[in-house]
Chains A and B, each alone.
Chain A
Amino acid sequence: MIGRLLSAWRTVTRDSPNSLDALLATVQRLLSGLRSNRSLVGIVVIAVGLLVGNLVTNQQPLLGLDLQGGVEVVLRPVPGETEITPEALEQALEIVRNRVDALGVAEPDITVQGGNIVVQLPGVDDQERAIALVGQTAELRFRPLLARAVSRAEIEAYKAALEESEEVDAPDEAGEQGELGVADLLEGTLTGSVDDDADSVVILPGRPDANGQVFHFLLGPALVTGAALESATPVLEFAQWNVQVTALEGAEGIDRFNGAARTCYYEAPDPAVCPTGQLGIVLDGVVESAPVVNARAFERDRINITGAFGEAEARDLALVLDYGALPLVFEDPAESGLVRTVSATLGRDALQAGLIAGIVGLGLVALYMLAYYRLLGAAALGSLVVSGVLLWVILSFLSETRGLALTLAGVTGLIVAIGVSLDSNVVYFEHLKEDVLGGRTLRSSVDQAFPVAFRTIFWANLATLIGAGILWLLTIGSVRGFAAMLAIASILDLVATYFFLRPVVRGLARWSAHRPALVGMAAVVAAAAADPAIPAGERPATGRARS
């Protein structure tokens, strides 16, 4: 196989002036081993198979907010917690937008309305998860663990005892240390509040473990916050989902984190700050986990947050950590009844108008192609059907998995894309005409014109793909959705042209070799025959050629 690849590469590099051309030619050469009727059968079987699978699982593309409506979440800031300024609202809006974008390529509508942030999502599949994610404050804190117990009462009693005396036995769960020097910590900071205040000693619940058991934790003031982190990614380690975080560089990042690590290093923990040698990881007031700190210093990108995470939880946690904490505290929208469904902004009539217009437009295009190119036009329409089916399946799949939603602009954009994708067929057909005009028979033109035409189509589509890639990487919101559509349409164009149009046109050319009118070539053949520049012996043998 490798030998074959190499020899194919060598042959084409000899013939082609430039290495990019050589690459394409290599691919074409390898593919040419695939017999053309097999590629035709292959793509038709794949398209039909996927369509059947799509119909059986009943997947459909999701329609956008403008066409179908969706769910609306109103995020109302809790007054008093933080100062509510227009700047803070604006900042919160951007963070919410980033989180929603990271969920998928759906086009959300996020605005500041009055003093609230209103988030509208098109028919998101997992609404609760989306809503939870949108409003999560995502304040991450690393707090030293002081004690842990099964019941809240036990830990409260312990805390109360600590305030009175300096010598108290910790509850069993707290570990071996019988004596704790933490009483100093409590002085003046104990407000009796159970809130997750960064500078106080607090009691917070943990996550339920595998048995549904919830522990309660007594934790010291935060040593590090999420502000010290740069990014977070979910990782799967030993069948356990963790979140790996990367700290920022410098004093406010990794130095601060390692300061906490030194204080809590389990072999020599600072008894006044971190007696247990464990560091609690607290997100939005819940102790995600309290790992033993087993190193004095960590590398910037080797910090793991472990917990009883499922895959979705790890992903969501990484996501909210990645985009930072919201500067405002919002009411829980699910509790305050601020979640509701909303109607489409354009409604059924606009969708219908768009669809009718699209169908009429495509019908006209079909008529034109048939009138101009006859059977070749029919082949082009067939290739359009194949790429249309593949597009439908891909859109349905992306709607299901990535929350992609088609807006009216998206629908019309696709209709335009179809018109444009006929271009690759036109490029090929005109190449054919040119070759026949140059005195070649239709049959031999087909084999000569395709590689030339396909090269043109390939490089032009590659430019489009590069553009789409850049837009995808660098933009957010609906521009990103557009980039995805553009890339999908370009790839499908190439696939349908190569695997469907090529074999079909080759078959047509053989079949209609003596009936050029069937493929709209009568005039071309006549013109070639009438051209004195072509010697008589070279003229295409057709019954209709004038002499």
Chain B
Amino acid sequence: MSEQSSKVRGGLRRMYANQVNLDLERLWRRSVVMSMVVLLIAGGAWIFRGLNLGIEFEGGTFWEAPLGDHSIAEVREALATVGQADARIQELGGGVVRVRAEVAPGNTAEVAAVSAALAELGGISPNDISFSAVGPSWGAEITSKARLALVVFFIVIAVYIWLRMEWKMAVSALVAVGHDILVTVGFYALFGFEVTPATVIAFLTILGYSLYDTLVVFDKIRGNDRTRKEPYFEIVTRSVNEVFMRSINTTITSVLPVLSLLIIGRFALGAVTLQEFSIALLVGLLAGTYSSLFVASPLVAWLHVWVTGERPGQRQPSRERRPAAAAPRPRRAGSGPVGRSGVTTTRSHPARPAKKRRK
């Protein structure tokens, strides 16, 4: 027992010192199965359950009721009794309240139920309450433009990564981003959370975050690939181990505020939007970190193996772990070539011919 706890402590200390050494080859084989299962569930939920689109996308019904002096919170409570807690409530002045809810105007029973609830709250006759259809505020044009923008976004980013790095990384990064979006959207479909414009923004935030996270890992792989003579697969596992703590820390710093939004939003009145918005962010942030380490990175390694035929098993004799330590000290600050990792500043071997672009 105590031996185990000291082992854990030793592990934590090594993590703190950034000495992570995970057996990624084994982990990746498991993670790929897990990702596949999760993606299947997410995709299935999206296709078969569909998304619960909010009133902003689908329109609904609006009521205008002269309720007198009632706070928005009170109106929301009254609406909650007829299952419309997430209605959009607005005071129009003069004691008139406008309620917009996702109720089809043709659904007379539900429309009447909301009218009755409002009438009861205001102590007025349901006949004093007017209602009519309301169209979507997030129109088809916004959706179609956003869709076009996303397609262009993916193409340009793919070209950018291809130019900056290589095509295998472009493919892997896009797969990772797609993974995160699908997981988050699938999560929404599965649990039937309402999709509002805020949620769409959350999806976009995830997209940016996931891409950023993946690019940081890839930059590391590229840097190691340039300075180390090791099989590519080793380079990738080494890089992922090296950025592991950074990924954990970044995840913690991004997730803490979201978690606090989720918990405090849970207890705050009328913050339903806040809550569902933060769920999207939470799932997306976690998926984003996971995908850069366990989707994008193995994909790059495997694509490389597949394209070049260099198998992970065929390891060349591993080099001395830190050739740089014995090498002469680097030059004065700022005078050295920019872009070399500080760990291995000098090469004890001629530069390897570029093989990244081989197709």
Provide the A245-256 mask, 1 if CB < 8 A to any CB of B, else 0.
Answer: 000000000000
In the complex, chain B residues whose CB is within 8 Å of the CB of A431: 342
Chain B binding surface SS class:
helix
Most A CB contacts (10 A, CB to CB) among B134, B208, B252, B340 go to B208
- Is B334 a contact of A447 with CB atoms below 8 Å? yes
Knowing that A69-B91, A357-B260, A466-B156 are A-B contacts, what are 12 other residue pairs whose CB atoms are under 8 Å apart, sorted by A's residue number?
Answer: A111-B136, A344-B90, A364-B257, A409-B273, A419-B254, A420-B254, A427-B216, A449-B342, A463-B211, A474-B152, A475-B145, A478-B201
Tell me, yes or no, whether A341 is within 8 Å of chain B by CB: yes
- Is B254 a contact of A353 with CB atoms below 8 Å? no
Tell me, yes or no, whether A345 is within 8 Å of chain B by CB: yes
Of the stretches B22-30, B274-282, B303-311, the one at the interface is B274-282
- B 158-185 contacts with A by CB, 8 A: 160-161, 163-164
Which of A361, A409, A434, A477 lies in contact with B18, CB distance below 8 A?
A434
- Is A32 a contact of B334 with CB atoms below 8 Å? yes
Most B CB contacts (10 A, CB to CB) among A345, A427, A486 go to A345
- Is A475 a contact of B157 with CB atoms below 8 Å? no
- Is B273 a contact of A368 with CB atoms below 8 Å? no
Q: Which 5 A-B pairs have the closest CB atoms?
A: A361-B257, A353-B268, A448-B342, A361-B260, A447-B333
In the complex, chain A residues whose CB is within 8 Å of the CB of B164: 18, 20, 459
- Is B18 a contact of A433 with CB atoms below 8 Å? yes
Tell me, yes or no, whether B350 is within 8 Å of chain A by CB: no
Tell me, yes or no, whether A112 is within 8 Å of chain B by CB: yes
Tell me, yes or no, whether A349 is within 8 Å of chain B by CB: yes
Which of B136, B138, B139, B246 lies in contact with A427, CB distance below 8 A?
B246
- A 6-49 contacts with B by CB, 8 A: 12, 15-18, 20-21, 24-25, 28-29, 32
Which of A408, A422, A447, A479 lies in contact with B274, CB distance below 8 A?
A408
Q: Could you tell me the distance between the alpha carbons of A417 and B201 in the complex, rounded to whole angstroms?
A: 13
Provide the B185-224 mask, 1 if CB < 8 A to any CB of A, else 0.
Answer: 0000000000001101110110111011101100110010
A116, closest chain B residue (CB): B132
A17 shortest CB reach to chain B, Å: 8
Q: Could you tell me the distance between the alpha carbons of A32 and B336 in the complex, rounded to whole angstroms?
A: 12
Tell me, yes or no, whether A94 is within 8 Å of chain B by CB: yes
In the complex, chain B residues whose CB is within 8 Å of the CB of A12: 337-338
Of the stretches A122-130, A214-222, A263-271, A435-443, the one at the interface is A435-443
Given contacts A114-B132, A467-B157, contact A533 B139 (CB under 8 A): no
Tell me, yes or no, whether A194 is within 8 Å of chain B by CB: no
Of the stretches A142-150, A166-174, A203-211, A450-458, the one at the interface is A450-458
In the complex, chain B residues whose CB is within 8 Å of the CB of A388: none
- Is A349 a contact of B257 with CB atoms below 8 Å? no
Give the interface size bracket for A toward B: 35 or more
- Is A409 a contact of B198 with CB atoms below 8 Å? yes
Of the stretches B41-49, B106-114, B322-330, the one at the interface is B322-330
User: Interface size of B by Cβ–Cβ distance < 8 Å?
Assistant: 108
- Is A420 a contact of B322 with CB atoms below 8 Å? no
Most A CB contacts (10 A, CB to CB) among B207, B268, B342 go to B342
Tell me, yes or no, whether A347 is within 8 Å of chain B by CB: yes
Which of A360, A437, A479, A535 lies in contact with B142, CB distance below 8 A?
A479
Of the stretches B9-17, B77-85, B118-126, B229-237, the one at the interface is B9-17
Provide the B129-146 mask, 1 if CB < 8 A to any CB of A, else 0.
Answer: 000111111110110011
In the complex, chain B residues whose CB is within 8 Å of the CB of A459: 164, 215, 219
- Is B325 a contact of A464 with CB atoms below 8 Å? no
- Is B339 a contact of A451 with CB atoms below 8 Å? yes
Tell me, yes or no, whether B21 is within 8 Å of chain A by CB: no
- Is B157 a contact of A466 with CB atoms below 8 Å? yes
Q: Could you tell me the distance between the alpha carbons of A415 and B277 in the complex, rounded to whole angstroms?
A: 13
In the complex, chain A residues whose CB is within 8 Å of the CB of B215: 456, 459-460, 463
Given contacts A353-B274, A426-B249, A535-B325, contact A476 B17 (CB under 8 A): no
Give 13 A-B contacts (CB < 8 Å), ordered by A residue.
A17-B226, A342-B90, A342-B98, A349-B268, A349-B271, A365-B256, A422-B250, A422-B254, A431-B342, A434-B18, A466-B160, A467-B207, A479-B145
B241 shortest CB reach to chain A, Å: 11
Q: Could you tell me the distance between the alpha carbons of A344 and B89 in the complex, rounded to whole angstroms?
A: 8
Tell me, yes or no, whether A395 is within 8 Å of chain B by CB: no
B211 shortest CB reach to chain A, Å: 6
Q: Could you tell me the distance between the alpha carbons of A459 and B222 in the complex, rounded to whole angstroms?
A: 13
In the complex, chain B residues whose CB is within 8 Å of the CB of A526: 17
Q: Could you tell me the distance between the alpha carbons of A240 and B320 in the complex, rounded to whole angstroms?
A: 74
- Is A354 a contact of B17 with CB atoms below 8 Å? no
- Is A533 a contact of B260 with CB atoms below 8 Å? no
- Is B17 a contact of A437 with CB atoms below 8 Å? yes
- Is A360 a contact of B329 with CB atoms below 8 Å? no
